[in-house]
């Protein structure tokens, strides 16, 4: 992991250390979110929290947080607490490593600490050998913890065929494959019962419960426990809990609701159903109704529900709200009428916190390992990249298509708008190589440099799209081209990923890191949901004629931006695209 400034690298494995052992008050002031609309609330040192942007501050006497908790693509939430630490698992499909894990000590400030799937070891498609695995991989999986052996468990159905279970002694790893069960536990949730028996709730509309063997390596039995009727429709995304002796399966009604199944007779039912939330207004303007999440209890006994809201083109973004229980044992989400609130009181207040607010990001790749914020598009060829004193990306694929180029390194795009800048040395490129910075999704565009053997052109290309089966439908076309004579280049893209159609990304480049020149036309982002994953910044380098070339990535930076006005004039994006590096 190189020099990164959004999360500390100290004590990554200290998942259960007392909070007093991790306190570093200076970290609370180290980084703040940029942009004129980003409001920072500095409380007294005894609170030590910085609030997220986008809403009015709560009263200073009541420290609060703002939704979304993290404006990044982190869908299919599973959440749990071990000691005073909270852990969050999310889907990332074809990106590798798979199943990212984040950690928090207050449910508000989060840091990436690792992945449950060190590699997508599920077949040659995941290595881009003979095919690709877009919109496959890890999705709607579970993350659990077994106290008896102090072990974390991750499980997920891969390719609708089998369920893979991985384990680790700590949430940050190391993770290893534990078992493969010859059944697809679709959209699964894990429960470790009071007697240490492990159960999995899963299914679509027909909800099932499976009992695992004591070693969690095989299935003992499975049984359908509930059938959704036409008045409710589809149910999936199970999360399984035991609370005060009753069994609860939280299930989502996509894309706008969450229902709760409850049994007082044991894990196999019978279950009755209760609506938790349906068609609630999102705390993000233009976002979808919050749904499909998990619940967690604080050490003080308070309950919270973490869901996600559809916020394309950026993806699915987590939002948090308090959860209360009635006398009959049914939960409810604290709303303002029919709306999820933008702001709530902080769930947990510590004397200080050592996880700064998410926002601006910088990496100079000075360490040999990558920060867990980074994920490759499919599995990388680890023989063709190395980090330390920058990142060297050798060409790993002979292709003319970014969708088939291995060793493309991606980073989630923080919203509502942000600018990514990458500094690249191109001196070791070979004739026909193409390297640069992309907006990667099922409709993509990029800015980069093409080496012709004796000359370089900076080009902006768009029109690269996917069609049926997530195969390439149309190839990228050159929109603009500028000859350059230097081998040191900076590429930049400023992206507005607020929910809605017509959002754009603006590309630019520089030959000195100071004066940036816009290139091409604003790229209109695809806001449709079927690809599931949102847009990502992507650093790429691939060969069109022969392998052997490389580029040296000096640094990568993200800066938060004020998005363009509601009229979508793009003025702030164009200003950001032309700004000099700080």
CA 550 → CA 387, 451, 461, 511, 553, distances in Å?
13, 11, 21, 19, 10
The confidence score (pLDDT) of residue 568 equals: 42
Task: Name the strand (E) or helix (H) holding 213.
Answer: none
For 150-169, give one letter per residue: b (16+ CB within 10 A) or e: eebbbbbbbeeeebbbbbbe
The confidence score (pLDDT) of residue 349 equals: 76
Q: Does domain 380-577 have CATH number 2.60.120.200?
A: yes
The CA-to-CA distance between both ends of the chain, in Å, stands at: 23
Instruction: Spell out the residues 6+ positions from residue 560 whose beta carbon is closer than 8 angstroms to its own.
Output: 33, 34, 35, 38, 53, 359, 360, 414, 417, 418
Mean pLDDT for the stretch of residues 309-329:
98
Residue 562 pLDDT more than 90? Answer: no
Backbone angles phi, psi at 21, to 5 degrees: -80, -10
Residue 41 pLDDT more than 50? Answer: no
The confidence score (pLDDT) of residue 282 equals: 98
Would you list the DSSP string of 412-444? E--SSEEEEEEEEE-TT--TTEEEEEEEESSEE
The confidence score (pLDDT) of residue 563 equals: 76
Domain 19-345 CATH (choose: 3.40.1390.40, 2.115.10.20, 3.30.365.10, 1.20.1250.20): 2.115.10.20
CA 86 → CA 28, 151, 171, 342, distances in Å?
18, 15, 10, 22
* Choice between 300 and 14, residue whose per-residue pLDDT is larger: 300
Residue 144: pLDDT band (50, 70, 90) is: very high
Q: What is the pLDDT of residues 328-374, one digit of tens each?
A: 999 999 999 999 999 999 998 765 666 777 889 999 999 999 999 99
Of the given ranges (41-50, 102-111, 179-188, 278-287), which has the lowest mean pLDDT? 41-50
Q: What is the pLDDT of residues 94-129, one digit of tens each?
A: 999 999 999 999 999 999 999 999 999 999 999 999
Q: Please check whether residue 149 is in contact with residue 216, taking contact to mean a CB–CB distance below 8 angstroms.
A: no
How far apart are alpha carbons 376 and 378 in whole angstroms?
6
Gyration radius of the chain over CA positions: 23
The confidence score (pLDDT) of residue 442 equals: 98
Q: Please check whether residue 407 is in contact with residue 383, taking contact to mean a CB–CB distance below 8 angstroms.
A: no
Six-digit token string for 327: 């006398």
The tally of CA atoms less than 13 A away on the side-chain side of residue 468 is: 0
Strands (E) located in 32-174: 64-66, 78-82, 85-89, 95-96, 98-104, 110-117, 142-146, 151-158, 162-168
Question: Do 19-345 and 380-577 agree at the fold level?
Answer: no
Mean pLDDT for the stretch of residues 129-156:
98
Mean pLDDT for the stretch of residues 28-40:
32
Mean pLDDT for the stretch of residues 513-538:
98
Residue 524 pLDDT more than 60? Answer: yes
Domain borders along the chain are: 19-345, 380-577
Residue 17 pLDDT more than 60? Answer: no
Residue 564 pLDDT more than 80? Answer: no
Mean pLDDT for the stretch of residues 550-569:
81
Q: Please check whether residue 302 is in contact with residue 321, taking contact to mean a CB–CB distance below 8 angstroms.
A: no
If one counts every other C-beta atom within 10 angstroms of the C-beta of residue 223, the result is 11
The confidence score (pLDDT) of residue 577 equals: 65
Which of these, 47, 78, 73, 74, lies nearest to 60 by C-alpha position? 47
Question: What pTM was estimated for this model as a whole?
Answer: 0.89
Q: What is the pLDDT of residues 190-199, one digit of tens each?
A: 999 999 999 9
Mean pLDDT for the stretch of residues 210-226:
98
The confidence score (pLDDT) of residue 31 equals: 35
For the chain, the average pLDDT equals 89
Residue 141: pLDDT band (50, 70, 90) is: very high
Residues of the chain with pLDDT > 70: what percent?
Answer: 85
If one counts every other C-beta atom within 10 angstroms of the C-beta of residue 515, the result is 13
For 467-478, give one letter per residue: b (16+ CB within 10 A) or e: eeebebeeebee
Q: What is the pLDDT of residues 493-517, one digit of tens each?
A: 999 999 999 999 999 999 999 999 9
Residue 301 pLDDT more than 80? Answer: yes
Backbone angles phi, psi at 159, to 5 degrees: 55, 30
If one counts every other C-beta atom within 10 angstroms of the C-beta of residue 238, the result is 29
Mean pLDDT for the stretch of residues 421-433:
98
């Amino acid at each position: 992991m190189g020099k990164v400034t959004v999360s500390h690298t100290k004590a990554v494995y200290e998942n259960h250390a007392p909070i007093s052992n991790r306190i570093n008050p200076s970290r609370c002031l180290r980084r703040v979110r940029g942009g004129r609309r980003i409001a920072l609330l500095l409380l007294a040192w005894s609170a030590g929290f910085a609030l997220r942007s986008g809403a009015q501050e709560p009263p200073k006497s009541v420290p609060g947080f703002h939704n979304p908790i993290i404006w990044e693509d982190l869908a299919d939430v599973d959440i749990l607490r071990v000691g005073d630490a909270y852990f969050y698992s999310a889907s990332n499909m074809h990106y590798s490593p798979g199943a990212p894990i984040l950690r928090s000590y207050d449910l508000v400030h989060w840091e990436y600490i690792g992945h449950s799937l060190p590699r997508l070891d599920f077949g040659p498609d995941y290595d881009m050998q003979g095919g690709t695995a877009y919109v496959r991989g890890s999705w709607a999986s579970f993350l659990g913890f077994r106290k008896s052996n102090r072990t974390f468990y991750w499980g997920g159905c891969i390719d609708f065929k089998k369920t893979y279970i991985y384990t680790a002694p700590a949430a940050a790893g190391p993770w290893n494959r534990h078992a493969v069960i010859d059944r697809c536990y679709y959209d699964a949730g894990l429960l470790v019962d009071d007697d240490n028996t492990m159960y999995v709730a899963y299914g679509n509309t027909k909800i099932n419960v499976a009992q695992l063997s004591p070693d969690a390596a095989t299935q003992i039995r499975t049984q359908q426990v509930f059938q959704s009727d036409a008045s409710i429709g589809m149910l999936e995304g199970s999360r399984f809990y035991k609370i005060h002796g009753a069994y609860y399966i939280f299930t989502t009604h996509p894309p706008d609701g969450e229902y709760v199944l409850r049994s007082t007779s044991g894990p196999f039912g019978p279950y009755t159903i209760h609506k938790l939330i349906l068609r609630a207004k999102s705390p993000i303007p233009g976002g979808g109704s919050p749904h499909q999440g998990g619940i967690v209890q604080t050490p003080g006994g308070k309950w919270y529900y973490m869901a996600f809201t559809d916020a394309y083109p950026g993806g699915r973004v987590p939002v948090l709200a308090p959860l209360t229980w009635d006398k009959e044992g049914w939960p409810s989400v604290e709303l303002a009428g029919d709306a999820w609130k933008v702001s709530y009181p902080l769930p947990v207040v510590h004397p200080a916190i050592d996880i700064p607010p998410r926002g601006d990001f910088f990496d100079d790749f000075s360490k040999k390992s990558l920060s867990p914020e980074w994920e490759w598009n499919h599995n990388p060829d680890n023989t063709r990249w190395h980090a330390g004193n920058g990142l060297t990306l050798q060409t790993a694929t002979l292709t003319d298509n970014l969708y088939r180029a291995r060793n493309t390194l991606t980073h989630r795009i923080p919203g509502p708008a942000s600018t990514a800048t990458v500094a690249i040395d191109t001196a070791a490129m070979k004739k026909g190589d193409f390297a640069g910075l992309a907006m990667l999704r099922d409709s993509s565009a990029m800015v980069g440099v093409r080496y012709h053997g004796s000359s370089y052109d900076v080009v902006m290309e768009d029109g690269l799209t996917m069609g049926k089966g997530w195969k390439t439908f149309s190839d990228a076309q050159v929109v603009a081209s500028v000859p350059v004579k230097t081998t040191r280049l900076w590429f930049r893209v400023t992206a507005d990923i607020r929910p809605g159609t017509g959002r754009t990304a603006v590309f630019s480049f520089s030959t000195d890191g100071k004066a940036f020149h816009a290139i091409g036309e604003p790229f209109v982002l695809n806001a449709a949901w079927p690809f599931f994953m949102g847009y990502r910044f992507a650093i790429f380098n691939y060969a069109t004629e022969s392998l052997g070339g490389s580029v040296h990535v000096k640094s990568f930076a993200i800066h938060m931006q004020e998005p363009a006005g509601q009229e979508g004039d793009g003025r702030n994006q164009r200003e950001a695209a032309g700004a000099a590096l700080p």
